[in-house]
């Protein structure tokens, strides 16, 4: 019963939040200067038309607004969009009128998800050992050095790290390509750029968690029983320190998902982030709203999954 109540409350909150995201995005779009029909390339094309062509262009604008309900008030547009979104039918975009948005999202979101998941795996594979080493070498050069590097990784934006990686590994060393997608070598730099800050966060969290765990009575008992230090650290200290790490990975996933927007632009990756930026530049309202909605829904669902996993891993936590 508690679990049912928990899920009903959280799903209701997610639904209300997504409706708010759509409404706010709609109002922000219409408040921004310019629209799709006023973009530079359209204005240049209209300037070269004769009077007959201008009349045809005006007729096209009227039909365009009717097709996308742009001639209706904003609240009506929001209602129409939400009604269609409820059935996962988002209609056509401005720039791709012959292709449903849901088909484009399905194609692009998989690419973005690949980058984020690879970056997340790198954060765990690199961050956890660094945190363990820093904890075991507390107040030494290793500890200060690793935590100093971690701090740098946290404060520098992912797109700046991406540019630095391109300069170092692509331009100076020539090891990896500056852009492209589809081969294993194309994944390395984007995943590292997105995962740099989570690596630092995981390392600092594991260090603090292990230092706190090592002060617990059951750790002293394990040492008193003659258990080796390596087994105590791996089987007791690290194992118990990894459970709270689950709660950290939820916000880190959200951070990486949003960071992928600019990283995809830097590496020219054909993902949802690049499509989001392109939609914003071209004032493609349907695509921009849907991309924002997908990003928001993914973040909210991941946070819900993290809360459930934490309750499963730690029996002391109950879903309420």
Q: What is the pLDDT of residue 108?
A: 85
Query: Residues 170, 219: contact at Cβ < 8 Å?
Result: no
Q: Which domains does the chain have, with CATH numbers?
A: 107-276 (1.10.3720.10)
CA–CA dist 157, 163 (Å, integer): 10
Query: Residues 256, 198: contact at Cβ < 8 Å?
Result: yes
| Best CA proximity match to 112, nearest among 307, 282, 298 | 298
Tokens representing 268 are 């020219």
- pLDDT band at residue 37, thresholds of 50, 70 and 90? low
The more confident residue out of 314 and 285 is 285
The 10s digit of each residue's pLDDT in 145-180 is 877 877 777 778 888 888 888 888 888 888 888 877
Q: What is the pLDDT of residue 20?
A: 92
Beta strands per DSSP E along the chain: none
Supply the mean pLDDT for the chain. 80
Give me the percent of the chain exceeding a pLDDT of 70: 87
CA–CA dist 304, 298 (Å, integer): 10
């Amino acid at each position: 019963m508690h679990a049912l109540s928990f899920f009903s409350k959280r799903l209701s909150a997610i639904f209300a939040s997504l409706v708010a995201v759509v409404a706010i995005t709609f109002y922000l779009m219409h408040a921004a200067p310019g629209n799709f029909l006023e973009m530079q390339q359209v204005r240049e094309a209209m300037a070269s038309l004769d009077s007959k062509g201008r009349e045809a262009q005006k007729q096209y604008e009227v039909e365009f607004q009717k097709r996308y309900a742009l001639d209706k008030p904003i609240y009506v547009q929001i209602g129409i969009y939400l009604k269609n979104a409820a059935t996962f039918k988002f209609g056509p975009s401005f720039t791709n009128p012959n292709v449903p948005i849901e088909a484009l999202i399905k194609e692009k979101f998989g690419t973005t998800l690949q980058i984020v998941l690879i970056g997340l795996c790198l954060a765990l594979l690199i961050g956890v050992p660094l945190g363990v080493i820093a904890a075991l070498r507390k107040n030494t050069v290793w500890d200060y050095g690793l935590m100093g590097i971690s701090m740098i990784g946290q404060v520098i934006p992912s797109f700046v790290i991406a540019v630095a990686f391109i300069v170092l590994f692509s331009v100076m060393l020539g090891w990896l390509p500056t852009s492209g997608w589809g081969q294993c070598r194309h994944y390395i730099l984007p995943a590292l750029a997105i995962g740099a800050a989570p690596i630092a966060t995981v390392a600092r969290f594991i260090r603090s968690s292990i230092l706190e765990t090592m002060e617990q009575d059951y750790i002293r008992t394990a040492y008193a029983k003659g258990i080796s230090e390596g087994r105590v650290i791996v089987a007791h200290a690290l194992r118990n320190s990894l459970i709270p790490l689950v709660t950290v990975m939820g916000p880190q996933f959200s951070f990486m998902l949003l960071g992928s927007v600019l990283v995809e632009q830097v590496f020219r990756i054909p993902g949802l982030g690049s499509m989001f930026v392109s939609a914003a530049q071209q004032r493609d309202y349907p695509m921009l709203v849907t991309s924002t909605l997908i990003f928001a829904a993914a973040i909210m669902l991941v946070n819900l999954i993290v809360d459930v996993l934490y309750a499963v891993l730690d029996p002391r936590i109950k879903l309420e």
